[in-house]
Amino acid sequence: MIFCLNNAPFFLLLLLLPSVYATSLLRHGNETDQLALLDFKNKIISDPLKIMDSWNQSIHFCNWFGVTCSPSNGRIITLKLSTQNLVGTITPSIGNLSFLSGLDLRNNSFNGEIPQEIGRLTRLQSLNLTNNNLGGKIPTNLTNCRELKILALEMNELVGEIPFELSLLSTKLLVMGLGRNYLTGRIPSWIGNFSSLIRISLALNNFHGSIPQELGKLSKLEFFQLYGNQLTGMIPSSIYNISTIYYFSVTQNHLHGNLPHDVSFKFPNLKVFAGGVNSFTGKIPSSLQNSSALQVLDFAENLITGNIPIGLGRLQNLYRLNFDDNKLGTDLEFLASLVNCSSLEVLGLGGNMFGGSLPSFITNQSNKLQRLTLGSNLLSGNIPDGIGNLFNLNLLGLEGNQFNGTIPYDLGKLRNLAGLHLNYNRFSMSIPSSLGNLTKLTRLFMEENLLEGNIPLSLGKCIDLQVLNLSSNYLGGSIPKEIVGLSSLSISLSLANNLLTGSLPFEVGKLINLKELHISGNKISGEIPISLGSSISLERILMNNNLFEGKIPQSIQNLRGLIQLDLSHNSLSGEIPRFLEEIRALESLDLSYNDLNGEVPTRGLFLNSSRITLVGNDNLCGGISSLLLPACPVKKDNSSRNFFSRRTIVIVVVVVVLSAALFSGIIFCILKRTKKTTLNSSSEENVGISYQELLRSTNGFSTDNLIGSGSFGPVYKGSLPNDGTVVAVKVINLQQNGATKTFIDECEALKSIKHRNLLKLLTVCSSVDHQGNEFKALVYDYMFNGNLDEWLHSKDQNKRLNMKQRLEISMDVAHALEYLHFYCETPIVHRDLKPSNVLLDQDMTAHVGDFGLASFVLEESKNLSVSEGLKGSIGYIAPECGLRVNVSTFEDVYSYGILLLEMFTGKRPTDELFKDGLDIHSFVAMALPEKVMNVIDPSLLLEEKIDMDNARVMEERLVAVINIGLSCSNSLPRGRMDMKIVTNKLHDIIDSFNKFHNTTKVS
């Protein structure tokens, strides 16, 4: 007792020691958490919403945005930063938040790999990284997260197989979301061990093999999504024992077999049942009529037989019923029962074997109906009166049947109709003028019928029409100028094989976006209008079997993208124009059975007899030997008498040429002294045109030929005197400081590079003008569609770019930069990429031009000042260009990112909207992903005519493209992707876009 009293301080110390130790640990743990968050912040390279501003030392980290701490120990338990438009990488320090139970970073733009250190978070219950740009493989260390209930990694760029280590996760797992990645291999059977799983999504990957039977053990599963893979075999019967499923989608695989007849009893909660684009057989289970919650029933593109069960009319919530492209029959009497489906928006029955007439009660279907497809069946009779009652229809497909009678005037009431397919039937009488009321119509197909009378002028009111096909009918009269004046026509105008007379209206020149003009097999007469040369997008002109006369107009040389030209079986005269040799895209030329004469050209496609047809022109001669034409008569000359005079002329010409060459060489040597590395003096390509020739080709540098003005001088349109090639001549203003250096730099950059998406330098001129002043000019291929800036910011309604065009131009520019950065002998940095330097040829292919500021990456630039190193245009210059002078390809990547954002928002980076710290990057980043449509160029949305079926897909593609733009325009070079990655990503987006738009079946 004495001992205890005498040592009381020591005894109290022993009692307090655990508390002191615990406090020390707590303080240390808090410091660890704070340091981990600060490291997380350091890895963020773009924070447009400024949420990281709260992450500072003046506020306790438990009060930082998105952070939640435990009230008992002050340790971080959740980090939620979803949908904040953050760009960066996920720091490995995240693994130090040892008390973390929830990590939610979905809907941002994190890139790089998922750090293995996440596997150290043994208390983690929810990991949601959905909709980022994360790549690499799924971390195997996640196996240590034994408390994990939610694993959501969808919509990223993950690769490889699902690692076996995930099989060791806790059976408490509720959600496994791995869809929309690039995962491969088979679906592991061990997934069936996660007995608590309620949601599994493996859609849109590259899984192959069969669906494991073991998945049938997931007795609590509600959401089952495997669409868009390469799965084979039958759906395991065990799956149908999961009575909790309400969403079931296996669309777009290679599955087969019958659907169970009692599916509604096996899936009593079913809302979505989708298995389109497979090989399912058998009949539609009649038990589906008991699935009262069913909203979507879609098994398009299979081998299903029988008829539609009448009982499906009981499904009050059904809004999509799609069995397009199966083997269903026999009649459509079941449609009477579908009248009760008051929510129905999509009814797809095309491509089956339904026969008989179209029942009148089709007109009583839901007034919400937007898509009705009955094409490619065996239907006959008339279209019932009252079809106009379906006033919300966006698509009506009745093609490929045996309908007869007249086309109902009532169709004119379908004011929302975008697609009308009445082709390949037996409709007779005239086309109703009421179709002119369909002002939203973009596609009108009426070919292969028995229609007669005139083409109604009212169709000229369909100002959004892109495709018009009235071919193979008995239509007469002249072609209305109102039709050929529809500048919206961008795909095809086909009036072939009718009884049309008169001339081709001059207004045909307004079809500047049209790809195909098909008017063959009529009685159209007169001359081919010269205005046809204004339809610069034309790829196919089919005008054969008419009564055209006169010469082939010279203006056709403007159609540089022309692939096929058929003018056969007319009465054309004169010689075959030489410009046809120069249209490089031309693959097929048929001029047979006309009255053409003279010598046949021997260059271009005329070198291949399989690509040209000239028979039936008795006065042609020459050409290649395989054409078997007679030789052209040789013109007589007094060769012996004029021998000496010709010899004198030759001598004079040689002297003049040598003198010119010597003078050019002197000028060239003077230029060479201004820079160590410059043009190769032996290059004839770059010193091949004189001042006098350029003067003639541009009509004396007339203001009428002025097409623009660059940084260092005006640009003129010209026509080379030797072959008529249309060119653009950039005259260098030598009075401007640095102009001579720019001339040399551009020649140096372009002399050894060649790519389809780079503006081709044809030749240069380095001479003196008539006043003896130094003269320099660069001569390029002429770009018939101007530059990208004109298309993005034009007030001309005819200058609009649709989604496909913008994607293709984006890819063209990306390919050009990829070539410059990776495939030149010495990498080249353009340093002035902007829309006005992206030129568009006749087929809207993009070419990057203006290399006056280009630099070689390996150039020594240590002596440059900052001002000399700062090159480019305001708004497009990378931020680091003002801080250093080392040339980097990432300068171009930044400019490309800004250009990409401008292309899809329609706003310049110098727009007056961008001030007070707001720029185009942050403006767009703040809108992603939910509000992306709010910042998209309105003219793009007008061009696309987005309907409910493709709005979601369109939005996904836009988000993907915008994310590329944001990544490329990152303020830090290390946060930007290189152009190889850009082209790969764009390739995937374009493939996905084309795949979707090339099919009418969407899961």
SS3 label, residue 177: strand
**Using an 8 Å Cβ cutoff, are 580 and 558 in contact?**
no
Which candidate in 104, 324, 781, 832 is catalytic?
832
Alpha-carbon gap, residue 242 to 259, rounded angstroms: 15
**Using an 8 Å Cβ cutoff, are 49 and 66 in contact?**
no
**Using an 8 Å Cβ cutoff, are 105 and 84 in contact?**
no
Beta strand ranges found along 105-156 (DSSP E): 109-111, 126-128, 135-136, 150-152
Place of tokens 């919509």: 155
Q: Which of 551, 542, 545 is nearest to 595 (CA)?
A: 551
SS3 label, residue 664: helix
- DSSP string computed for 794-837: ---TT----HHHHHHHHHHHHHHHHIIIIISSS-EE-----GGG
Query: 400 — alpha (psi -120 to 50), left (phi > 0) or beta?
Result: left
Query: 901 — alpha (psi -120 to 50), left (phi > 0) or beta?
Result: alpha
What is the Cα 163 distance to its own chain's centre? 34
Beta strand ranges found along 431-539 (DSSP E): 443-445, 450-454, 467-469, 474-478, 492-494, 499-501, 516-518, 525-527
SS3 label, residue 240: helix
Q: Which of 172, 62, 155, 63 is nearest to 110 (CA)?
A: 155
Scanning 221-342, the segments in alpha helix (DSSP H) are 263-266, 335-338
Helical axes 979-997 vs 951-968, angle rounded to 10° = 170
Q: Is the peptide bond before 68 cis (omega within 30 degrees of 0)?
A: no
**Using an 8 Å Cβ cutoff, are 788 and 903 in contact?**
yes
What is the Cα 417 distance to its own chain's centre? 25
**Using an 8 Å Cβ cutoff, are 241 and 218 in contact?**
no
Q: Which of 736, 751, 774, 754 is nearest to 688 (CA)?
A: 751
Count CA atoms within 13 Å of residue 89 on its CB side. Answer: 16
**Using an 8 Å Cβ cutoff, are 255 and 233 in contact?**
yes
- DSSP string computed for 654-709: HHHHHHHHHHHHHHHHHHHTT-SS---TT-GGGS---HHHHHHHTTTT-GGGEEEE
Residue 704 a catalytic site member: no
Q: Which two tokens stand for residue 457?
A: 């002028």
**Using an 8 Å Cβ cutoff, are 379 and 404 in contact?**
no
Beta strand ranges found along 654-734 (DSSP E): 706-710, 713-719, 726-731
Q: Which of 188, 175, 322, 198 is nearest to 251 (CA)?
A: 322
- The strand pairing partners of 255, in sequence order, are 233
Going by their DSSP bridges, the two strands 726-731 and 774-781 should be labelled as: antiparallel
First-to-final CA distance of the chain: 85
Helical axes 979-997 vs 803-818, angle rounded to 10° = 150
> Cα 957–962–964 angle (5° rounding)?
100
CA distances from 705 to 307, 696, 698, 726, 728 (A): 68, 12, 6, 12, 10
Q: Which two tokens stand for residue 36?
A: 């981990």
Contacts of 426 (CB under 8 A, 6+ apart): 402, 403, 404, 449, 450
- Please tell me what DSSP assigns to residue 29: H
Residues classed as catalytic: 832
